[in-house]
Amino acid sequence: MTMTNTRLSTFSAVRIASLTVLGLSLAVWLWGAPVLAQHRKAPPGMFRDLDDEIVGKAMVIHGKQLFIDDHLIEEIKGAKKVLNQPVKHPRNPLIRREKPWEFSITYGAVVHDKADGLYKLWYQIWTDDKEPLGLIGYATSRDGITWEKPITDKQTGTNLVLFAPNEPWVAGPGILIDATVKDPQRRFKMLYLAKPTLKSSSLSSCVAYSADGIHWKQEPKNPVIPFSDTQIAPYWDARLGRYVAYLRFGPPNVRLISRIESADFLHWSPKVTVVNKSKLDAPFATELYTMAVLPYEGVTIGLLNTYHGETIKPIPKDKPWMDRVNVQLAFSRNGVTWQRVGKDGAISARELRKERDWKQVADQATFLPYGAFQKDWDWGQIYPHHPPLVVGDEIRFYYTGISGRHWSTYHKDKPDYSVGLATLRLDGFVSVEADREGTLTTRPLVFLGDTLVVNANATGGSLAVEALDGEGKPIPGFGATDCKPITSDGIRHVVTWKGNPDCHLLQARAIKLRFHLKNARLYSFEPTTRHNHYLQSYD
């Protein structure tokens, strides 16, 4: 046998032996797999049956749950709901009226453009007190705090947006970046007011499109919506798959909030008045001026511009609130039926019909207040920009502040006009609070998930959560004493029982959650999924 043949024979023998061993191992593994599977058990409660009988009258919830209304609340003991106000930024005002063409500024629209990372603001400009000409200014910012007014029209050296063809009077811009659009020339969409003849009788609501937010082309079929007279607040409603906008009732000019919707941003439904005046508005002769809107965690938040005590007559010293404008909160779960929000949360239509001390309720319903009378830069009027923005762990409310009353000429005010910012912690609209000890118990609910996350501030106190069964008894392993108390401030506390955050045994069954608060504030809770629940085969 040659050397080459010897090497080949040796190689073949080794290869055959290796394959034999591999085959035996594979056979053992394949044969043993069913045996091993016979001894595997699924983790308890991993798989559940779910039907309408199991769910019963329990609410199936998804995502974050707020406490603005009582939709999810069965009982509160020893605690209370509290309306929280945004905190005004220490560097306010962020944008001042400074250009020669900026006689006054009011309504604004703000977005954060992810394409270039810029915050972009459009604001209404009046050019003259005698013959006001409506224009729209433009400003940008890297951080939303420090702003600049870039030159957009090189011919005039201004920061005004450009319409093609040019319009003599435009105002009240409501602008959105449309993530659903395929035509880049219509990435920015605007609803605005036009006055083609410069007469009030020609006032109408129109549509324009833009690729960059600076150069705009009007819809050829304008006007598309009847009269508004104030800012129109449009947005894309992902739940409906439609554009929605809020605007003033009219014509004629009536200060009420109406709603319209559209599938194409061109053909809009007839107006439906969704926020009307109520007993809450009677004590201070309040008019409902505008409403900026924020879709938020499956609900809709409205910033309601409330104009109190309109008058051109001299104002008594004991009624400094007259002819001034601030902001109250409105709340909706469907965008159509709205509730006003007071100091302890949403007020139902039925409650609004009852007899109460509505002057006190109205006084305590302020969400974003004007500044100190004749002292602060925003002491007279506040006009929130649309929409509020969620940035990190805070909600930003940009607004125009005016140091003068609505009819400033008659009151001999000398108003200035600027843009400011107020911020609120994430979910922070209405909290449930207990100074000493208290509980909040939910209605029966069903969720899918394995982790419970709460937004709460328990600094100097504690917050614990327990799960109750259909009879209201604590579920073993998920009682209040099993829960590790939360004792700090955080947006995303993970609740644990006996040191374990896994609560998948609570999912897909009708339960109640009871929150135990001691000197703590609860803003929201959310069932989430944090684990990978992939399982190998088992019998």
The CA radius of gyration of the chain, in Å to the nearest whole number, is: 30
The count of other CB atoms within 10 Å of the CB of residue 131 is 8
Residue 24 has pLDDT above 50, yes or no: no
pLDDT tens sequence across 426-467 = 999 999 999 999 999 999 999 999 999 999 999 999 999 999
Residue 6 has pLDDT above 90, yes or no: no
Tell me the average pLDDT across 254-271.
96
Q: Is the dihedral of CA 461, 479, 81, 494 positive or negative?
A: positive
With contact defined as beta carbons under 8 Å apart, do 383 and 290 qualify?
A: yes
Q: How confident is the model at residue 50 (pLDDT cuts 50, 70, 90)?
A: confident
Longest dimension (CA), the chain: 124
Quick check: helix, strand or coil at residue 308?
strand
DSSP 483: B
Q: Give residue 395's pLDDT.
A: 98
77 φ, ψ (degrees, to nearest 5): -125, 130
Q: How confident is the model at residue 29 (pLDDT cuts 50, 70, 90)?
A: very low
Q: Give residue 246's pLDDT.
A: 97
Residues in CB range of 80: below 8 A, 6 or more apart: 344, 432, 433, 434, 438
Q: Which is more confidently placed, 217 or 9?
A: 217
The count of other CB atoms within 10 Å of the CB of residue 1 is 7
pTM: 0.90
Decide the pairing of beta strands 324-332 and 366-368.
antiparallel
Query: What are the residues facing 205 on neighbouring strands?
Result: 193, 225
pLDDT tens sequence across 219-257 = 999 999 988 889 999 999 999 999 999 999 988 889 999
Measure the CA angle with vertex 390, ends 446 and 336; round to 5°.
60
483 φ, ψ (degrees, to nearest 5): -85, 130
Q: Give residue 251's pLDDT.
A: 86
Start-to-end CA distance of the chain, whole Å, equals 57
Distance CA 476, CA 469 (A): 10
Tell me the average pLDDT across 151-180.
94
Residue 414 has pLDDT above 50, yes or no: yes
With contact defined as beta carbons under 8 Å apart, do 187 and 211 qualify?
A: yes
| Closest C-alpha to 320, from 369, 256, 383, 385 | 369
- The domains located in the chain, with CATH, are 52-83+430-528 (2.60.120.260), 93-425 (2.115.10.20)
| Cβ-based burial of 231 (10 A; exposed 0-12, middle 13-18, buried ≥19) | buried
Query: What are the residues facing 121 on neighbouring strands?
Result: 110, 139
| Closest C-alpha to 121, from 101, 102, 141 | 141
361 φ, ψ (degrees, to nearest 5): -60, -45
Q: Give residue 533's pLDDT.
A: 78
Quick check: helix, strand or coil at residue 23?
helix
Any idea of the CA torsion for 428, 430, 436, 440, to the nearest 10 degrees? -110
Distance CA 127, CA 110 (A): 21
Element of type H or E holding 522: strand 512-528
